[in-house]
Structure 1
């Protein structure tokens, strides 16, 4: 069976809408609410850095999916879970490597925020710790069902444990990529193409229509620039995220240093206690990396670098000659990378190499415009004399990768997020030209919403029910339109199954039961009088004089005389039958004339007179005042005035008398008859 109806899907970014940072996207469909990512904006601090939570009802969220551990995708999660009215039954998922690194990274974020001048902490380390018990792990490709929301994580590259999520609700699929890369690097495989075509694709647009240089060229530019600075006696600063691209750059530098003995005396420093704490995670999940790393792991740990010195802070750094220093954060907002940059930026011998994407509003983005001076954290100005190079190793898809990704997936709708306004607009225009303005292109519905802007999409989905052994057909026959079926319809979230009542325990945890009710009632009248009263109101009243039993609703309600002053009423409990028996009980215990007294006698006399007027003289039967005997067309006829039963050998005469009797009853007792479902034995589900 199928029932087509139109449903509206709403997609609203409350972060990363025409911006990069505080990624957070809300999806609402079929009464379900999903949050993808929950990050902070690196250019802001405190409450201003959070997604726009005021635009949502946190208690409505059913599911939170975090794509990876970077702060702009995950650092808002403790605030959401501990400082808002998030639905206590909402479930939160991320991959195992993401969960393992998340705690260390966010604990460090709390420490840095607490120590940074002028910044307010969004939450405490205890808040971070409390979130851990609610965060669940999702494995790549494994389907998880949360109250009818089905989702699968797929490999997204970008960082270890990075995932894109394919979500399915009522047969409609949505793919949220988060940050992804279709390029294999030194340690990560390229993002995979999910095997299921999504109806909606929510995709990052970080690089717009830019295309990356071939990787070999970028690596050569990077190593040449670093080598030129240190060979000239300068210092090279590499601002990086503590985890992710840092490991990629260290692999490149360690290999280059090993191949150039003249550089062995130049130290490479990596200041990250977090990276050291999280290195066991890299070793544990080496199976999630590419063949290059897995082969090297068979011999030795490729992340134990020969030419790299790990230090905890500036107290372990002499700063007495050329060096390469890798420090976080990657956008020079604060911390060690900012401290070193302010110290070194005035010297022409030194160099700054930015290897990741820089967000608007950060110092890293500002220095790319080549200003003459920069503002230090203490408010003073410093001249920018050092060289500044931008050689991207950010694991984000460029235009070529995005275009091919969209072409392979063939979605009907595409929503762009995680991109600066101009980059996103250019990407939208390019995709529109390819798909909607080029002859033969696949039509693509494109959207690039601002923060808190809602994209509304209509979907006509059929409600399909799987009928199991209920069709009145042979196994090889196909049902025709209009074929009637009956059974119990089981709804489990967005799937429907039609089964026989007796098969219910086989397909669900429900069981069939029937409650048989019995009630003893006082009787202040004769059973004949009670039967007469019931017959004037209800249809299908049967009276067994010998057994002293009144039967109603095709035998589902029985009234049996126990003694002279009481009766027992028995029935199968149900909504309709319970209402019926309440009315019967009221009639039974009410004061009314006994049989033979004026009320009942006058009723019977009037009925006999009306029959006599239609068919001729009638005779009462001794001992049975409610029965009438007469002759119609030379045929003997007996009429039970209580039940309406007509006994006659001639079927034609019987039908004539029966019709007349019903008209007499309608005239005498103008209360409409009604049909109730208590005529059938009632089955209940518990």
Structure 2
């Protein structure tokens, strides 16, 4: 069948994540985000790639949202309520709870404050969320008879999940954003060794190996402390949930330890939201938070208070955590405009900022005073210090390689990153893991060839019987090999000194060899296809029952005449059966070979062998149910007596 992938967003880019994956005849949209750096039609993915006639519900089998960040879910109400998609949408319960709040916050900023048009309404957000079906961690949901999905813990933010999608024998893992390093409030990402046909992974930090986390935390606290000691104000742009909790836990503990009185503020409403959702979804946090939550809520901060906008003009030092994290709108941008012209102040950007945002412009020219374009009408002189201390909850290069090793994919496709960094990582993945790696641009289709293997269900009855027969036959051969090795070893000891034996190449010392594990097993049965889909390999008796046909017994007789070059030479009945019996015991245990009399053997109560001394011939009787056993016996006859022909 094959797998087809088309990024509509996040192809050689960060932001507007939206990837269409076709597995067999099923089409899945992974994420439906907006680009925070654009304010025109480029803000949303180009959905015309899905259907030129806008038959989105008919074309797509489902949408899967990995987490609540707007670059992964921001276009969802637009796609469902304005473009007309009416199919199922899957996300975790924390994501379902938080997404509408962030969507409404952003809508207010874009429409109510900026006056933008062609934007979704509050009612559209509500109607969109009615289509959402929550999925629990490690829960497998069958979207339909063929497509199933399963969620895995991704770290990153509260409720973030990676998704495993399977159709038939083909599967895809889509990571969304994830973090392989645990932090102060969330655990690290984890997935089974699912061996998907394709792993689609984010690559925000494709070429970065992060330094010590403790070192970054010390640097962060030192810079903040030094700035407020000199009377400056510190602005830390963050997103509503995620890094802000991490940094608040850190700075609140430091303020307590250092006995500092400088005020620290949350952006309006952040504290209440964080407390509510982390308490509601406590099972998604790390073990320490779970254990201490009853005694002490880690998010009840002693030194951090809600922020009122008039405080931005208050004199004296302070620290402010304000949303959003990329300085593209909202409280963080408003406060930045006021504080940026003062060289005593500082802005610390703890996360990634996409191209086009004010945050990205600041980081591109950090180091001294600069003129920054806020929008088409506004340019701002920036004199405050700008620092980027990465507390981003994305996997670095080491973490990405770790996830590939963990999941064991057959192919890898990179999204959510920058082109040149993707190119470097792609080469490294192909070299280290020996798998094809792709990094397509938006709108470019990648076709992944599927496995040529055909899955067959094997009857447990057939499998047990043939494993038993195979192991019994091979155990005898192994015993003989061991005996030969022991004999060879004794001979070597007689012919060589101990010193010479020790100097032999290990591969030349037969007594050093051990039995290799059985990795392949020949199995014979009847292949049955029902409903033109599932193939089954069955025992003959099971096949008869499965197909509702009577079991047919066919009895065969074969005369095998011995011809010798020397006409005076004959083989006695005793000799003929003795020779054949010795050969058969190499295949089967003694208790499965029954000697009836001097001229007759019965093998496994299934095959009867007689030898006629006068005619110098073997007569073999067997049925159609014992073809394999007869075949093995016939090969022994050919090997032993065929040389005399």
The two structures have a TM-score, normalised by structure 2, of: 0.70
2:527–2:536 Cα contact (<8 Å) kept: no
Cα offset, 1:407, TM superposition: 2.5
Cα offset, 1:356, TM superposition: 0.4
2:29–2:60 Cα contact (<8 Å) kept: yes
1:346 to 341, 354, 364: 341
Q: Which residue of 2 aligns with 1:134?
A: 131
2:266 to 263, 267, 270: 270
Q: Deviations over 1:533-587 (max 9, x none)?
A: xxxxxxxxxxxxxxxxxxxxxxxxxxxxxxxxxxxxxxxxxxxxxxxxxxxxxxx
Cα offset, 1:76, TM superposition: 1.0
CA distance in 2 between partners of 1:118 and 1:489 (Å): 59
- Correspondence list, 1:554-569, <5 A: none
* 2:361 aligned with 1:361: no
Cα offset, 1:240, TM superposition: 0.7
CA distance in 2 between partners of 1:322 and 1:467 (Å): 73
* 2:350 aligned with 1:381: no
2:205–2:397 Cα contact (<8 Å) kept: yes
Choose between structure 1 and 2: higher helix proportion. Answer: 2
Q: Which residue of 2 aligns with 1:68?
A: 67
Q: Deviations over 1:435-468 (max 9, x none)?
A: 2xxxxxx311010000011110111355546588
CA distance in 2 between partners of 1:321 and 1:102 (Å): 36
Q: Which residue of 1 aligns with 2:2?
A: 8
The two structures have a TM-score, normalised by structure 1, of: 0.66
Q: Which residue of 2 aligns with 1:258?
A: 256
Q: Which residue of 1 aligns with 2:41?
A: 47
CA distance in 2 between partners of 1:378 and 1:483 (Å): 74
Residues 169, 255 of structure 1: alpha-carbon distance in 2 compared, 3 angstrom cutoff: same
Q: Which residue of 1 aligns with 2:291?
A: 295
Cα offset, 1:96, TM superposition: 0.8
- Correspondence list, 1:105-504, <5 A: 105-117=102-114, 119-147=116-144, 148-261=146-259, 263-264=260-261, 266-273=262-269, 276-277=272-273, 279-311=275-307, 313-315=308-310, 319-368=314-363, 369-370=365-366, 372-377=370-375, 379-432=377-430, 434-435=431-432, 442-464=433-455, 466=457, 476=465, 483=526, 489=531
Q: Deviations over 1:374-402 (max 9, x none)?
A: 23448243321111111010100111111
Cα offset, 1:63, TM superposition: 1.4
2:11–2:439 Cα contact (<8 Å) kept: yes
CA distance in 1 between partners of 2:452 and 2:350 (Å): 46
Cα offset, 1:285, TM superposition: 1.4
CA distance in 2 between partners of 1:188 and 1:126 (Å): 33
CA distance in 2 between partners of 1:215 and 1:320 (Å): 33
Residues 237, 290 of structure 1: alpha-carbon distance in 2 compared, 3 angstrom cutoff: same
* 2:91 aligned with 1:94: yes
1:25–1:36 Cα contact (<8 Å) kept: yes
CA distance in 2 between partners of 1:450 and 1:128 (Å): 30
2:275–2:300 Cα contact (<8 Å) kept: no
Q: Which residue of 1 aligns with 2:23?
A: 29
* 2:83 aligned with 1:84: yes
Q: Deviations over 1:70-119 (max 9, x none)?
A: 00001111111111232x3x321111111111111111111111134363
Cα offset, 1:8, TM superposition: 2.3
CA distance in 2 between partners of 1:77 and 1:380 (Å): 30
Cα offset, 1:60, TM superposition: 0.7
2:195–2:410 Cα contact (<8 Å) kept: no
Residues 223, 482 of structure 1: alpha-carbon distance in 2 compared, 3 angstrom cutoff: closer
Determine helix, strand or coil for the equivalent of 1:342: helix
Residues 226, 143 of structure 1: alpha-carbon distance in 2 compared, 3 angstrom cutoff: same
CA distance in 1 between partners of 2:191 and 2:374 (Å): 45
CA distance in 1 between partners of 2:242 and 2:449 (Å): 38
2:154–2:188 Cα contact (<8 Å) kept: yes
Cα offset, 1:278, TM superposition: 5.0
CA distance in 1 between partners of 2:463 and 2:10 (Å): 57
CA distance in 2 between partners of 1:223 and 1:121 (Å): 43
CA distance in 1 between partners of 2:385 and 2:523 (Å): 78
Alignment coverage as a number of residue pairs: 480
Cα offset, 1:404, TM superposition: 2.1
Determine helix, strand or coil for the equivalent of 1:460: coil
2:192–2:406 Cα contact (<8 Å) kept: no
CA distance in 2 between partners of 1:392 and 1:403 (Å): 20
1:46–1:121 Cα contact (<8 Å) kept: no
Range with greater deviation from structure 2 (108-117 or 26-35): 108-117
CA distance in 2 between partners of 1:240 and 1:193 (Å): 28
Residues 378, 455 of structure 1: alpha-carbon distance in 2 compared, 3 angstrom cutoff: closer
Determine helix, strand or coil for the equivalent of 1:459: coil
Residues 326, 459 of structure 1: alpha-carbon distance in 2 compared, 3 angstrom cutoff: same
Determine helix, strand or coil for the equivalent of 1:196: coil
Cα offset, 1:422, TM superposition: 2.4
Structure 2: 5+ residue runs without aligned partners?
A: 468-521, 547-645
Residues 136, 278 of structure 1: alpha-carbon distance in 2 compared, 3 angstrom cutoff: farther
2:526–2:537 Cα contact (<8 Å) kept: no
Cα offset, 1:11, TM superposition: 0.7
Cα offset, 1:231, TM superposition: 0.6
CA distance in 1 between partners of 2:535 and 2:179 (Å): 39
1:104–1:278 Cα contact (<8 Å) kept: no
1:489–1:498 Cα contact (<8 Å) kept: no
2:271–2:306 Cα contact (<8 Å) kept: no
CA distance in 2 between partners of 1:410 and 1:204 (Å): 16
CA distance in 1 between partners of 2:397 and 2:456 (Å): 43
2:264–2:303 Cα contact (<8 Å) kept: yes
2:227–2:233 Cα contact (<8 Å) kept: yes
Residues 340, 209 of structure 1: alpha-carbon distance in 2 compared, 3 angstrom cutoff: same
Cα offset, 1:474, TM superposition: 12
Q: Deviations over 1:622-676 (max 9, x none)?
A: xxxxxxxxxxxxxxxxxxxxxxxxxxxxxxxxxxxxxxxxxxxxxxxxxxxxxxx
Structure 1: 5+ residue runs without aligned partners?
A: 1-6, 436-441, 508-686
Choose between structure 1 and 2: higher strand proportion. Answer: 1
Determine helix, strand or coil for the equivalent of 2:421: helix
Determine helix, strand or coil for the equivalent of 1:41: coil
Residues 389, 170 of structure 1: alpha-carbon distance in 2 compared, 3 angstrom cutoff: same
CA distance in 1 between partners of 2:456 and 2:398 (Å): 43
CA distance in 2 between partners of 1:480 and 1:303 (Å): 61
